[in-house]
Amino acid sequence: MIGKLKRFAKTALANPVVRRTYNGANRAVLEVAGSTRLGATLYSLPGFFTHNREQFAVLSGRRAYYRNLGRHRSNHVELRRNVHRLEKGILMQPRRAVFARDYIEETVEFYALAMERPTSISNIDAGEMQWAHDVLAEYFSLVTDDDPGVARSRQRFESLPRFGTPSNIHPYPQKNLKRTDISYEQMLDLAVSRRSIRWFEDRPVPRKLIDEALMVARQSPSACNRLPYEFLVFDDPAQVKTIAGIPFGAAGYSHQIPTVIVVKGDLSNYFSPRDRHVPYIDASLATMGFIYALETLGLSSSVINWPDFEPLEAKMAKTLGLKPHERVIMLLAVGFPDPDALVAYSQKKDIESLRSFNRLGD
């Protein structure tokens, strides 16, 4: 049904008269609706459901965030956020003698709750817990007990059992970073040689290579180190056919995709609606690193566009069993490239069109 409506719309808009009428009507309406906040509000009333899914996702995510505070999980986003805040305080120049007064007690409480997990929860992220312990230990080695809250937090922290083995997973000097001998020319060559590939060889993608690429992806920047995304990988032929057949963007080539990946954002990582766009940003940063890593492993990919279109959103959510606060960000087709298939040239914009220096608004 959706496909038929799309074909009907494309056929109608191919008519010059219909297209001019459609464009003219849109322009007239948007001149009013797009000029003021009031106009936008009035315009949104008849089109309420256009943005309602996002509103529901944000509220559902906030609800899940607060519910999760009392649940035992493998990852603790609230702990990750606060530990990262502590790290930023530790590396500040100049560093304050006492900092994090307003959230250190909460952070230790988050850590204590994570440590008190029942023995049935065996899949806790050990790296996350070791990092939290070491940063807290470093924090208390630097601050004084002049503040009562800090003193109480230190006493509580020191009463808890140590997690793992002695280590130093906390801020360290920049000069200790591992150096890389990758040159700019090599990085540019990788970027230029990476192209969206839509035709693949008929052979499976080793899962080991997907995981190796994800090792690169997870190093991408993420606000407060939350990593609010998941890569849903499908390599079963029947499932690939089903998933890749949902978006419009894979029409014509979805039948020969070896592996399709759904990049999913999770709004339950946030307690405030101000962060509602962060999953899209963080997941996109990770996806670009993932794509470059695939290239180095001999694999190619194509990003499948995922517009916010309610019928497709509903179909994908039902197919994947997504919760209301889980949003599809994009899909990726992945496989070994067909060497004889054509690749789009895709001329990029001039640098002058992409950047400016010291330009302020009038």
Position 121 pLDDT exceeds 60:
no
**pLDDT, position 8:** 67
Q: Which residue has the higher pLDDT, 336 or 46?
A: 336
- For residue 335, report the phi and psi dihedrals to the nearest 5 degrees: 180, 180
Ranges 15-24, 45-54, 107-116, most confident: 107-116
Write out pLDDT tens, residues 175-213. Answer: 998 889 999 999 999 999 999 999 999 999 999 999 999
Mean pLDDT, residues 215-233 taken together: 97
**Which residues, at least 6 apart from 36, have a Cβ–Cβ distance to it below 8 Å?**
none
User: Tell me, what amino acid is at 301?
Assistant: S
Calculate what percentage of the chain has a pLDDT beyond 70.
96
pTM more than 0.85: yes
How many CB atoms lie under 10 A from the CB of residue 128? 19
Write out pLDDT tens, residues 240-249. Answer: 999 999 999 8
What is d(CA 232, CA 339) in angstroms, rounded to the nearest whole number? Answer: 27
State the chain's maximal CA–CA distance in angstroms: 77
Mean pLDDT, residues 277-284 taken together: 97
Tokens of 190: 């990788």
CATH 1.10.730.10 holds for 186-335: no
**pLDDT, position 229:** 97
What is d(CA 80, CA 162) in angstroms, rounded to the nearest whole number? Answer: 18
Tokens of 117: 């997990």
Write out pLDDT tens, residues 145-178. Answer: 999 999 999 999 999 988 877 788 999 899 998 8
Sheet with 259-266, strands from edge to edge, namely 229-234, 259-266, 326-335, 300-304
Query: Left if phi > 0, otherwise alpha if psi is -120 to 50, otherwise beta: which for 321?
Result: left
Which segments of the chain are extended strands (E)? 229-234, 259-266, 300-304, 326-335
User: Tell me, what amino acid is at 57?
Assistant: A
7-16, 149-158, 295-304, 350-359 — which is least confidently predicted? 7-16
Mean pLDDT, residues 278-297 taken together: 97
Mean pLDDT of the chain: 91
Position 357 pLDDT exceeds 90:
yes
Contact 301, 162 (CB under 8 A): no
What is d(CA 13, CA 175) in angstroms, rounded to the nearest whole number? Answer: 59
**pLDDT, position 18:** 78
**Per-domain residue ranges of the chain:** 2-46, 67-170, 186-335
* Sign of torsion over alpha carbons 278, 284, 287, 288: negative
* Sign of torsion over alpha carbons 291, 293, 298, 299: negative
Mean pLDDT, residues 105-127 taken together: 82
